[in-house]
Amino acid sequence: MDFTVPQETQALCRQLEQFMEEYVYPLERSRERWVLQEGGPPYPPAIRAAQQKAKELGYWAFYLPKEAGGAGLPFMQYVFVNEILGRSPIAPVVCGSQAPDSGNAEILWRFGTAEQKERWLRPLVEGEIRSCFSMTEPEVAGSDPRLLRTTAVRDGDEYVINGHKWFTSGAHGAAFAIVMALTNPERENPYLRYSMIIVPTDTPGFRIARGVPVLGDDDNHHAEIWYENCRVPVTNRLGEEGMGFVIAQERLGPGRIHHCMRWLGMAQRAFEMMCRYANQRFAFGSTLARKANIQDWIAEARAEIQAARLVTLHAAWKIDTEGAHAAREEISLIKFFGARMLHNVVDKAVQVFGAAGVCDDLPLSHFYRQARLARIYDGPDEVHKMVVARRILQAYAPESSTGGGDT
């Protein structure tokens, strides 16, 4: 097995690291707080300028095929590139690869009509507009999407949408939402009852109630939304009626592994900061680096990051060779394993830094928030463990021929 990073990826990674130093980290240090606003510009001017540079250099929408306006990197290469982007929370935005736009662009590309692509995908990929994905509802468990209550009732050539959503990330200032709504309640299979529908945010009846404050942040990054008799043309539906979950799987699978790749970069940066600081900080007769427990944390963190990297690479390889559907188990595995790794590594880095670790002057406090959220969004840990365990147990069920002979 060859663990060498492919030659072409090596060069790209080096250049991208340089780009991060010149254009991305300084934006972080400028501490320009980005509060999303309804009707406001999609991006602040400083981010716009860095995006322009990223486009010129071809560091734009790495995940999307070239025909769709991206750089068309295979997953195996994207792991390395995305790990670098993950080092800064701003980098995916600067390089046109941030959630939820990346996931929405992927499904528009795969399932959108020519008209939908022209109207929504092209400006989205260009970075002219932003979008959001509106599925989770406060009244029912988001982990079990068969419970979703938002309805889209057909009335002639239109759908009339009614419902209540929350945690619709990026809704303030977005041009459109992709909404998961019940269109076919009569169907026996609950997974074939829902459709994804594009709702422009200026549609009458689309009402943002508030930005949901999260772990002390009230920057409007997650919105609570009411859909009140929101009328959109039937042609705004993505794919066939009732195919919402099928499309969601296509969206969430690759989306989850995108997150995992970035968590590697975030954890790696926290790890490097922790090692540097441990070598400098002096207490009780020696640097922190000389204390046995700190050495233990550093060794454990290295092992966890490397293990998560290898599992992520394996999932990427499987997506590249067999497709996202075949890699479902691997994707679930890395989703909970990667989130836990990030949480553990950042927690130790924060501890090594003491008070400075929780101070917003450093990126660590932001990473810590991200690490906690990572264990919930795109499916909580427990749901992904359930998916993995069920599949494994199936293979060992008495009627299975692949269960092996041991008891």
Ligand X SMILES: Cc1cc2nc3c(=O)[nH]c(=O)nc-3n(C[C@H](O)[C@H](O)[C@H](O)COP(=O)(O)OP(=O)(O)OC[C@H]3O[C@@H](n4cnc5c(N)ncnc54)[C@H](O)[C@@H]3O)c2cc1C
> Which residues 6+ apart lie within 8 Å of 180 measured at CB?
134, 135, 145, 148, 150, 194, 195, 196, 244, 248
Applying CB under 6 A, which of residues 172, 193, 222, 262 lies at the interface with ligand X? 222
The distance of closest approach from Cβ of residue 267 to ligand X in the complex, given in angstroms and rounded to an integer, is 18
383 binds ligand X (CB under 6 A): yes
* Residue 134 CB, nearest approach to ligand X (Å): 6
- Provide, rounded to whole angstroms, the least separation between the CB of residue 103 and ligand X: 9
Map residue 325 onto helix, strand or coil.
coil
CB of 177 to ligand X, least distance (A): 9
Nearest of 279, 253, 334, 228 to residue 63 by alpha carbon: 253
Q: Which stretch binds ligand X (CB under 6 A): 83-91, 107-115, 162-170, 331-339?
A: 162-170
CB of 388 to ligand X, least distance (A): 12
E strand map for 31-189? 131-134, 151-155, 158-169, 176-182
> 356-375: which residues touch ligand X (CB under 6 A)?
373
Residue linked to tokens 């293979």:
395
Q: Tell me which stretch binds ligand X (CB under 6 A): 22-30, 117-125, 138-146, 263-271.
A: 138-146
Taking the least distance from each CB to ligand X, the nearer of 82 and 134 is 134
Nearest to ligand X of 46, 376 (CB atom): 376
Give the residue carrying structure tokens 């528009």: 108
Single-letter residue type at 363? P
Binding mask 62-101 for ligand X (x = CB under 6 A): --------------------------------------x-
- As to burial, measured by CB atoms within 10 angstroms (0-12 exposed, 13-18 middle, 19+ buried), residue 53 is middle
Q: Are 53 and 236 in contact (CB under 8 A)?
A: no
169 near ligand X, rule: CB under 6 A: yes
Residues 250-279 that bind ligand X (CB under 6 A): none
Dist CA 22 CA 11 (whole Å): 17
Q: Residue count of the chain, please give it.
A: 407
Amino acid of residue 69: G
Q: Which stretch binds ligand X (CB under 6 A): 167-175, 278-286, 310-318, 347-355?
A: 167-175
Rounded-to-integer distance, Cα 262 and Cα 312, Å: 11
Which residue in 11, 141, 303, 389 binds ligand X (CB under 6 A)? 141
**Among the listed residues 136, 201, 236, 332, the single contact to ligand X using CB under 6 A:** 136
Kindly determine how many residues on this chain lie close enough to bind ligand X according to the rule CB under 6 A.
21
382 touches ligand X (CB under 6 A)? yes
Of 54 and 177, the one with the shorter C-beta distance to ligand X is: 177
DSSP state of 95: T
Structure tokens given for 77: 């290469």
- CB contact at 8 A, 312 and 342: no
Which residues sit opposite 237 in a β-bridge?
A: 197
* Closest CB to ligand X among residues 32, 382: 382
Rounded Cα–Cα distance for residues 152 and 137 (Å): 15
Binding site for ligand X (CB under 6 A): 100, 133-136, 141-143, 167-169, 222, 373, 376-380, 382-383, 386
